[in-house]
Amino acid sequence: MPSEWILPLAGVLVIVAGCLAAWILLRRGTQTRFAVMRRVHADPEVAEWVVAFDWTGKVLYIPSLVAAIAAAGVTWAVGHSESMSRVPVAAIGGAWLAIVVLNVLIEEGRFGWKGLTALTGVVLLALLWISASGLSKPLARGLSAIEVNLSAGAYLTIAAVGFVAIAGSWVRGVFTYVVVTPKRVVVGRGPLTKPEELPFDAVTIEIDRHDLLKRLVGFGRAVVSFKDASHPPIVCLTGRIATKVAMLKAVRRQVERDAAIVPARPAE
């Protein structure tokens, strides 16, 4: 077999193996998030619903990953274009590092309005103290001494690893998810188990409002707790958090309306 055929053949075998694995999972009764949503859409009695699955925390680093791709392009241009040759590579890395630090604060920080206000006040006071004590110039020299010299290939590798992790969490979310309707809650726990259907009142769904920084970029944590103590709670880092909050409120209003409808007593 010619050596140039090995890589394409390996790709075909991987695709065939993936299709076979998907067929086996579906034959075992596994229902994907999309299959459950088709059932929900086909039910004329269900007008409101919420779907959530857990994204990896790397999804919060999308600005850093996009910046890494941009940094790779600029770094490549610096080495191949005379007009860009004067741009310091360390400055490119420093700008990218600043975006990464901001992303770390968004991922790791758990601040409400009070905490964020207090943190902002502390930072402002620290800056005023640094300025008043004459430490601003030494601090600026120290920060300027930090050099991040990465090649274009290194930036692209970082971006590729991050996007692969994000794609992997999306694929996991096809089989691990929570679908909430006024009639029932469907919980998918993985590709090897059938989804579990529970009545709406058997679970409690709350949105963690302490992750203010995450909510500012459109993400938040949904916490699904079960009345049955044998079921551990499910925590999902989900996107479009403002929309999910509104949809959850709509589901709860529908549940309250349905509960207020008292069936008429049959005539005696």
pLDDT in tens, 158-184: 888 888 888 888 888 888 888 888 878
For tokens 């709860």, what's the residue? Answer: 252
Same domain, 240 and 253: yes
Range of the domain at 72: 60-164
pLDDT given for residue 245 in this prediction: 79
Instruction: Using alpha carbons, select from 244, 49, 59, 243 the residue that is nearest to residue 163.
Output: 59
Same domain, 178 and 52: yes
For tokens 């589901």, what's the residue? Answer: 251
Same domain, 84 and 205: no
Q: Considering 164, 183, 216, which residue would you say is the last residue of a domain?
A: 164
Same domain, 100 and 138: yes
Q: Report the pLDDT averaged over residues 241-253.
A: 80
Q: Report the pLDDT averaged over residues 34-41.
A: 81
Same domain, 64 and 54: no
List residues bridging with 38 in a β-sheet.
none
Same domain, 209 and 172: yes
Q: Does 255 have pLDDT greater than 50?
A: yes
pLDDT tens for 114-132 read 666 776 777 788 777 777 7
The pairs formed by 137-140 with CB atoms below 8 angstroms and a separation of 24 or more are none
Q: Does 57 have pLDDT greater than 80?
A: yes
Q: Does 85 have pLDDT greater than 70?
A: no
Q: How many domains does the chain have?
A: 2
Same domain, 69 and 146: yes
Instruction: Using alpha carbons, select from 221, 218, 219, 217 the residue that is nearest to residue 207.
Output: 221
CA dist 33 and 30 (Å) reads 10
| Alpha-carbon dihedral sign for residues 119, 120, 125, 128 | positive
Q: Does 9 have pLDDT greater than 70?
A: no
Q: Does 265 have pLDDT greater than 60?
A: no
> Under a CB-based contact definition with an 8 Å cutoff, are residues 54 and 170 in contact?
no
CA dist 256 and 250 (Å) reads 10
| Alpha-carbon dihedral sign for residues 172, 173, 175, 177 | positive
pLDDT given for residue 19 in this prediction: 65
Q: Does 23 have pLDDT greater than 80?
A: no
CA dist 143 and 140 (Å) reads 5
Strongest mean pLDDT among 46-50, 150-154, 252-256: 150-154
Residue 2 lies in a domain: no
Same domain, 236 and 103: no
